[in-house]
């Protein structure tokens, strides 16, 4: 769905760019150079040729700008060959404009490419830092490195059934990835206790959605993700924690995450249970629709073919092959 939106946006921009080039070229060819009043209008409208190279630079970078500038240069030169001015000042002016098209196309094109590359490397650095953090937390508690990444991918599979806008999708992905970040505040004694937590220990454990929210809400680009972290243990029927939210009071991202997280828990090998197959896990999820889970999310879960879940599970399977043998 994301790819589809990208393609549609790209097509619209290409159409708009072609439209602008055609309109400007028509102005240039159809507005005559005599009498003098028309010539003034002709020269003013000709300046619109500067627009397509800048549009192409902003939307498509250096290559797009070079291609667009080549097209308008050909149109510009064709007109000059048909109606070459006798006045040497006007000749110099036209040659100057032609050179100007290339400057306003190529320089911003290069700058936009550079800016895009910097933004991408910044986003990669952010992503890698977050992945290192959640992998460390997963290792500490579950002795698996990829639990949070798997859950993020499962949550996105579900999100794509709801036609969510790109910004919200990104927040949901971050919320799913960082869901248990608040466990940093839970002591090892409680977090790693195999079973039988006392009431006080449960109270400490149940603080982790709030602790995660408290950590993330101050970070600008994680503010929306923080809401999902805060609500990731709420149940659709209001029996969850920490606030006992009911139904749509729970953010959609958290309702999607709950199904993804339980699916991952059921289909992963843990010390206290063996990994279930898809069918058995789907049965458990179906049973909890309307109580733990939003029924609409359960429907979305069932509409996704089992192979897609399996593909994610395999891609993010924990393997210890890269660990040194001591
Ligand atoms: Fe949690």
Å from CA of 182 to ligand 1 middle: 8
Does residue 215 lie within any of the structural domains?
yes
Average model confidence (pLDDT) for the chain?
A: 89
Residue 218 has a pLDDT of 92
Lowest mean pLDDT among 43-47, 122-126, 220-224, 289-293: 43-47
Residues 154 and 301 in one domain: yes
Rounded to 10°, the helix 36-46/2-30 angle is 160
Residue 39 has a pLDDT of 79
Residues 98 and 156 in one domain: no
Residues 152 and 239 in one domain: yes
The mean pLDDT of 213-230, rounded to a whole number, is: 94
Å from CA of 315 to ligand 1 middle: 23
Å from CA of 145 to ligand 1 middle: 16
The answer to whether 259 and 234 are in contact (CB under 8 A) is: no
> How far apart are alpha carbons 157 and 175 in whole angstroms?
14
Does residue 133 lie within any of the structural domains?
no
> How far apart are alpha carbons 151 and 276 in whole angstroms?
16
Whether residue 193 is predicted with pLDDT greater than 80 in this model: the reply is yes
Å from CA of 233 to ligand 1 middle: 6
- Backbone φ, ψ for residue 289 (5° rounding): -65, 130
Residues 167 and 245 in one domain: yes
Å from CA of 186 to ligand 1 middle: 11
The mean pLDDT of 160-173, rounded to a whole number, is: 92
Å from CA of 185 to ligand 1 middle: 12
Residues 286 and 176 in one domain: yes
Q: What percentage of the chain carries pLDDT values higher than 70?
A: 94
Instruction: Tell me which residue range forms the domain holding 105.
Output: 2-117
Residues 195 and 92 in one domain: no
Over residues 107-125, the pLDDT tens digits come to 999 999 999 999 999 989 9
Joined together, the tokens standing for residue 255 give 């309702």
Joined together, the tokens standing for residue 238 give 């209001």
Å from CA of 205 to ligand 1 middle: 9
Domain limit, last residue, from 117, 135, 154: 117
Residues 195 and 85 in one domain: no
Å from CA of 159 to ligand 1 middle: 19
Does residue 325 lie within any of the structural domains?
no
Joined together, the tokens standing for residue 162 give 């709801």
- Can you give the CATH number for the domain in which 171 is found? 1.10.3210.10
Lowest mean pLDDT among 2-6, 220-224, 245-249, 316-320: 2-6
The answer to whether 259 and 298 are in contact (CB under 8 A) is: yes
Domain limit, last residue, from 117, 138, 165: 117
Does residue 129 lie within any of the structural domains?
no
Does residue 135 lie within any of the structural domains?
no
The mean pLDDT of 91-115, rounded to a whole number, is: 92
- Backbone φ, ψ for residue 273 (5° rounding): -160, 160
Residue 323 has a pLDDT of 46
Does residue 326 lie within any of the structural domains?
no
Domain limit, last residue, from 99, 117, 135: 117
Residues 9 and 85 in one domain: yes
Lowest mean pLDDT among 71-75, 197-201, 229-233, 284-288: 197-201
Q: How many domains does one find in the chain? A: 2
Å from CA of 230 to ligand 1 middle: 9
- Backbone φ, ψ for residue 270 (5° rounding): -125, 160
Indicate if 183 belongs to the active site.
yes
Does residue 52 lie within any of the structural domains?
yes
Catalytic residue among 11, 142, 183, 274: 183
Joined together, the tokens standing for residue 131 give 């992945």
Whether residue 7 is predicted with pLDDT greater than 70 in this model: the reply is no
Residues 203 and 86 in one domain: no
Residues 273 and 151 in one domain: yes
Residues 306 and 158 in one domain: yes
Does residue 167 lie within any of the structural domains?
yes
Residues whose CB is less than 8 angstroms from the CB of residue 297 and which lie 6 or more positions away in sequence, other chains included: 158, 255, 256, 258, 259
> How far apart are alpha carbons 70 and 64 in whole angstroms?
10
Residues 207 and 88 in one domain: no
């Amino acid at each position: 769905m994301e790819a589809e939106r990208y393609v549609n946006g790209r097509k619209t921009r290409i159409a708009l760019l072609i439209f602008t080039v055609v309109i400007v070229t028509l102005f240039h060819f159809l507005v005559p150079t005599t009498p003098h009043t028309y010539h003034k209008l002709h020269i003013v409208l000709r300046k619109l040729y500067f627009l397509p190279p800048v549009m192409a630079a902003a939307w498509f970078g250096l290559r797009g700008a070079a291609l667009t500038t080549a097209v308008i240069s050909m149109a510009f030169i064709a007109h000059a060959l048909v109606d070459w001015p006798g006045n040497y000042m006007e000749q110099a002016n036209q040659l100057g404009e032609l050179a100007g098209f290339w400057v306003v196309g190529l320089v911003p094109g290069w700058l936009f490419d550079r800016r895009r590359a910097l933004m991408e490397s910044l986003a990669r650095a952010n992503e890698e830092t977050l992945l290192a953090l959640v992998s460390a937390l997963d290792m500490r508690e579950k002795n698996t490195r990829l639990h949070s990444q798997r859950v993020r991918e499962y949550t996105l599979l579900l999100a794509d059934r709801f036609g969510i806008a790109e910004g919200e999708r990104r927040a949901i992905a971050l919320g799913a990835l960082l869901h248990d970040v608040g466990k940093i505040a839970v002591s090892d004694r409680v977090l790693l206790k195999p079973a039988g937590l006392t009431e006080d220990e449960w109270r400490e454990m149940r603080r982790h959605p709030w602790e995660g929210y408290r950590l993330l809400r101050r970070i600008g680009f994680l503010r929306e993700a923080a809401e999902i972290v805060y609500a990731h243990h709420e149940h659709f029927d209001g029996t969850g924690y920490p606030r006992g939210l009911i139904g749509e009071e729970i953010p959609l991202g958290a309702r999607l995450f709950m199904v993804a997280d339980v699916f991952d828990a059921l289909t992963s090998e843990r010390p206290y249970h063996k990994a279930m197959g898809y069918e058995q896990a789907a049965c458990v999820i179906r049973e909890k629709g309307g109580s733990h889970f939003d029924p609409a999310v359960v429907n979305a879960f069932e509409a996704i073919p089992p192979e897609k879940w399996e593909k994610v599970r395999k891609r993010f399977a924990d393997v210890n092959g890269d660990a040194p043998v001591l």
